[in-house]
Amino acid sequence: MISISILGSGNVAQQLVSAFEKADNIQLVQVFSRKQNTISTLSKSVSIIQDYNQLESVDLFIIAVSDDAIAKVSEQIPFQNKLVVHTSGSVSMESLSDVNRKGVFYPLQTLSKTKEINFKEVPLCLEAATASDRELLHKVASSISNQVYNIDSTQRQSLHVAAVFVNNFTNHLFQIGAAICKENGVSFDILKPLIKETADKINFLSPEEAQTGPAKRRDTTTINKHLDFLTDSNQKEIYKLITKSIIDNGKL
């Protein structure tokens, strides 16, 4: 049995609480949440605390707070030489307090409190300074997910940047699609099967093989028609730039 406590009250903290409560071999001991009633637990054996001095000694402390609060929270843990990890994609492992052993436990997924997620499919990117800590993290991660990876800080940074492209920026393109539909009185629902298929396709083809459209074909007639159609300046610039990038890519 590995004992864990979680510090944080946001989306990641909540999803980890839910996942660990269902896990074998894991005893979730405490959740530190400064705001009351923001974390829901299934079991009464997990206590929610508001004071760092109430923290009990456990095998692993997981800090799931916003990036800029990680260092400060790590300094508040009233123990020494315990394993303390954060869950951020973009913060260095080294930013954690030197008093304890350091590590990273980064779930690479878009997590919201409201939408339940199958944690078994969430890739967990682990980092630690020693082999024994990596082993401990691996046991913990495997108890809630089938996708566990050892990822160093530079690789994690690269994944975080890549995730911005495939998640944040992709979602913004969906928003542009929805805005164009709205402006022209058609339902955004018409585009949803296409969006589903676009994401599904990369399980069968590489993105390079899956690329289609006027830019890929260098179909300047259609490209110019589309640019004439667009009136919003950001939309127009995005259209031009990604079209250029697709064309440049074809030249490599």
Find the binding residues for its own copies in span 105-124 (CB under 8 A): 108-110, 112, 115, 117, 121-123
Judged by CB under 8 A, the residue of 29, 125, 140, 141 near its own copies is 125
How far is 88 from 166, CA to CA, in rounded Å?
A: 17
Considering the complex, state which of residue 93 and residue 191 has its C-beta at the smaller distance from its own copies: 191
Site for its own copies in 7-66 (CB under 8 A): none
- Strand 83-86 vs strand 60-63: parallel, antiparallel, or unpaired? parallel
Token pair 């589309």 is at which residue?
226
Considering the complex, state which of residue 50 and residue 150 has its C-beta at the smaller distance from its own copies: 150
Instruction: Tell me the residue type at 68.
Output: D
194 phi and psi, to 5 degrees?
Answer: -65, -40
The contact mask relative to its own copies for 179-218 (x = CB under 8 A, - = no) is: -xx-xxxxx--xxxxxxxxxxxxxxxxxxx-xxxxxxx--
Site for its own copies in 232-251 (CB under 8 A): 234-235, 237-239, 241-242, 244-246, 248-249
Judged by CB under 8 A, the residue of 22, 72, 172, 218 near its own copies is 172
Q: Which residues have CB under 8 Å from 50's CB, separation 6+?
A: 32, 33, 34, 36
**Per DSSP, what are the bridge partners of residue 7?**
32, 63
**Per DSSP, what are the bridge partners of residue 30?**
5, 47
Coil, strand, or helix at residue 2?
Answer: strand
Number of residues in contact with its own copies, rule: CB under 8 A? 92
Q: Which residues have CB under 8 Å from 232's CB, separation 6+?
A: 179
Residue 94 contacts its own copies per CB under 8 A: no
Minimal distance, residue 240 CB to its own copies, in Å:
9
Considering the complex, state which of residue 75 and residue 209 has its C-beta at the smaller distance from its own copies: 209
